[in-house]
Amino acid sequence: HRLATMSLAYMRVGRWPLAAGLAASAAAAAYHRSSAAAASTCEPGIDPNKWTALTLSKVTTLSPNTAIYRFAYADPSAESGMMVASCLLTKAAIGSEKPDGSRANVIRPYTPISRPSVTGYLELAVKTYPEGKMSQHMASLKEGDTLDFKGPIVKLPYEPNGHKFIGMVAGGTGIAPMLQVIDEILANPTDGTKVSLLFANQSEGDILMKKEIDARAAAHSDQFTVHYVVDKTENSAWK
Ligand SMILES: Cc1cc2nc3c(=O)[nH]c(=O)nc-3n(C[C@H](O)[C@H](O)[C@H](O)COP(=O)(O)OP(=O)(O)OC[C@H]3O[C@@H](n4cnc5c(N)ncnc54)[C@H](O)[C@@H]3O)c2cc1C
């Protein structure tokens, strides 16, 4: 097998390099718009060029510090307009206080875990950091509250059958971009790409979406395999 390890892990994308890359990604977003338009007649629920307020409609706890946040579009028939692999930006006026008393904007990128074709909403898996500005803000939102979104920002357009084998290494919420690509591959019966995922977490209880990932591996055992590693465990079954 030719091993193509995809450099999708967001840990490698610094905030400023990402900001600098936004202009460059505008062309890719335009490409995406035209290709997405060919595949779907739905209006995108978010826009790469302007901020759109989406409404928090559901929160599902995944682990003690991570949850899935579902944000609804104004139009229930809209799709995310995302392509694989891409991320989006969130914005909230929760930064340092300005001389006029208002607060500076805090902007953070996230990778939706919902499929691009899902209508009405998108979902983010977000880890809450003890002093994290955006993750704390998101955790404080109540259903019905809004958050500003902009996107998609194309990271690496995925081409079916571009590689025979893809090796992925992810930690914690770094699973989000991997799931985007895995789901794209498994949803396409003409894509023969095989995927191996090494998913690292602190403990067994921290493994995000293990049931869902195992279900994908069971349903596509010839194409997708997953191995979990943890930092600490009481369970001797872990080797
Ligand atoms: C392309 C991309 C996609 C991403 N996708 C996801 C995703 O799907 N899900 C996800 O959960 N994350 C994702 N991230 C990470 C995300 O963008 C944020 O970096 C993350 O949510 C933390 O942001 P924050 O504002 O909550 O924390 P920040 O305020 O930026 O703080 C970051 C860290 O510093 C610590 N800290 C903050 N203030 C202090 C202080 N005064 N003293 C000491 N420590 C401090 C915080 O506790 C935290 O550990 C992605 C990043 C990129 C680049």
Q: Is the CB of 91 under 6 A from ligand 1?
A: no
Between vectors from CA 110 to CA 64 and to CA 224, what angle results, nearest 5°? 80
Instruction: Confirm whether 212 is domain-assigned.
Output: no
For ligand 1, say whether the CB of 9 is within 6 Å of any of its atoms: no
Q: Is 197 in the pocket of ligand 1 (CB under 6 A)?
A: no
State the Cα–Cα distance between residues 87 and 157, nearest whole angstrom: 11
The answer to whether residue 112 is domain-embedded is yes
Q: How many domains does the chain have?
A: 1
Within a domain: 57: yes
- Contact of 184 with 150, CB cutoff 8 Å: no
Assess if residue 150 is contained within a domain: yes
What pLDDT does 235 receive?
Answer: 78
Q: For residue 100, what pLDDT is reported?
A: 95
**Which pLDDT score, from 0 to 100, does residue 40 have?**
66
Q: What integer pLDDT is reported at residue 205 of this predicted model?
A: 87
In a domain, 208, yes or no: no
5 found inside a domain: no
State the residue for tokens 């998101």. Answer: 138
Low-confidence spans in the chain with pLDDT less than 50: 1-38
Distances in Å between the Cα of 81 and the Cα atoms of 4, 95, 114, 122, 208 are 27, 29, 11, 10, 25
**Residue 209: inside a domain:** no
Q: Is 86 in the pocket of ligand 1 (CB under 6 A)?
A: no
**Is the CB–ligand 1 distance for residue 69 below 6 Å?**
no
User: Could you tell me the distance, in angstroms and rounded to a whole number, from the CA of residue 178 to the centre of ligand 1?
Assistant: 18
- pLDDT value of residue 39: 55
pLDDT for 12 equals: 34
* Site to substitute for ligand 1 among 11, 108, 127, most atoms within 8 A of C-beta: 108
The domain that holds 92 is classified in CATH as 2.40.30.10
For 25, 60, 177, 218, the CA distances from 212, given in Å and listed in that order, are 31, 14, 15, 10
The answer to the question of residue 216 being in a domain is no
Give the domain range for residue 53: 39-154
Treating both helix axes as pointing N-terminal to C-terminal, what angle do 175-186 and 210-219 enclose, rounded to 10 degrees?
Answer: 30
Question: Pick from 57, 49, 61, 56: which is nearest to 88 by CA?
Answer: 49
Q: 94: CA distance to ligand 1 center in Å?
A: 14
Q: What is the ipTM of this complex?
A: 0.93
Query: What spacing in Å lies between the alpha carbon of 185 and ligand 1's midpoint?
Result: 28
